């Protein structure tokens, strides 16, 4: 049986901001449960313990998998932390991430079937635009020995963007999700093609060249799939 998809809860001082961010993230991840808990109970600016608790309970009951919470400002994080403390459920994870960028990155990761911890990590990696994230509760990465076998030769392909708006949010999300479908490491113009934010950061528009490089057991299949999407203009004009 497949693992439940990780859900997202967006906690903001503004109901409009929470709902708008949820709407944007949902465009990137149509199969992910994304809920907004913004504002106070009576619609003012602020946060509500009850609204967050109700949303958390609903997501846990609905999907049964992990729920990653993202917050906009300090007191929203405090409200979320209070709910998590009372719930005492290991499936609930609070991300220290930029609100909008983190929500988009987390949504794409969840759409690809990532675990709760991996979805939280994807959200927090969005903070690298503003500085590194240092989590005290995670051990440093283990050093690995140099591979005894030479690295596999990379396959490369040069493509040209055809859709008028280039790699904006929607096609960037499509591309990142496509990469996640294959057992391959894919680089796009020197960046990780599995990262929607890195792709959007390239700022590529119609007519721009894409230098795609892939390694791994399904490198050729990944390149073919990416080329098909690019040639089709990602379904846009």
Domain range summary for the chain, segments of one domain joined by +: 7-129, 155-235
- Of 58, 20, 55, give the one whose Cα is nearest residue 41: 55
What is the CATH T-level fold of the domain 155-235, as seen in this structure?
3.30.1340
Task: Provide the angle, in degrees to the nearest 10, between the axes of the packed helices 169-180 and 15-28.
Answer: 50
Residue ranges in the chain whose pLDDT is less than 70 = 1-3, 129-152, 237
What are the residue ranges of helices labelled H in 130-218? 169-180, 196-201
Tell me, yes or no, if the two domains 7-129 and 155-235 fold the same way. Answer: no
What integer pLDDT is reported at residue 190 of this predicted model? Answer: 92
| CATH architecture type of domain 7-129 | 3-Layer(aba) Sandwich (3.40)
- Of 209, 183, 185, give the one whose Cα is nearest residue 195: 185
Six-digit token pair at 186? 């894919």
Is 168 among the catalytic positions? Answer: no
Q: Which of 11, 13, 92, 176 is catalytic?
A: 13
This prediction's pTM: 0.72
- Whole-Å CA distances, 142 to 117, 124, 138, 139, 150: 18, 20, 12, 8, 21
What integer pLDDT is reported at residue 131 of this predicted model? Answer: 39
Six-digit token pair at 4? 């439940």
């Amino acid at each position: 049986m497949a693992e439940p998809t990780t859900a997202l809860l967006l906690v903001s001082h503004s109901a409009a901001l929470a709902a708008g961010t949820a709407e944007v993230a949902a465009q990137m991840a149509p199969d992910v449960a994304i809920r907004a808990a913004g504002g106070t109970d009576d619609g003012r600016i602020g946060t509500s313990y009850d609204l967050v608790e109700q949303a958390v309970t609903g997501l846990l009951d609905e999907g049964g998998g992990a729920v990653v919470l993202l917050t906009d400002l300090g007191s929203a994080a405090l409200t979320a932390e209070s709910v998590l403390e009372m719930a005492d459920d290991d499936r609930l994870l609070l991300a220290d991430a930029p609100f909008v960028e983190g929500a988009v990155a987390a949504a794409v990761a969840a759409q690809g079937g990532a675990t709760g911890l991996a979805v939280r990590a994807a959200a927090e990696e969005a903070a690298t635009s503003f500085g590194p994230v240092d989590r005290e509760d995670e051990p440093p990465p283990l050093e690995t020995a140099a591979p005894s076998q030479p690295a596999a030769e990379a396959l490369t392909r040069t493509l040209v963007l055809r859709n008028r708006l280039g790699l904006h949010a929607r096609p960037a999300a499509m591309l990142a999700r496509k990469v996640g479908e294959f057992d391959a490491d894919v680089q796009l113009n020197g960046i990780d093609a599995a990262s929607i934010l890195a792709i959007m950061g390239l700022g590529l528009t119609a007519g721009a060249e894409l230098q795609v490089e892939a390694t791994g057991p399904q490198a050729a299949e990944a390149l073919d799939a990416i080329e098909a999407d690019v040639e089709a203009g990602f379904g846009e004009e």
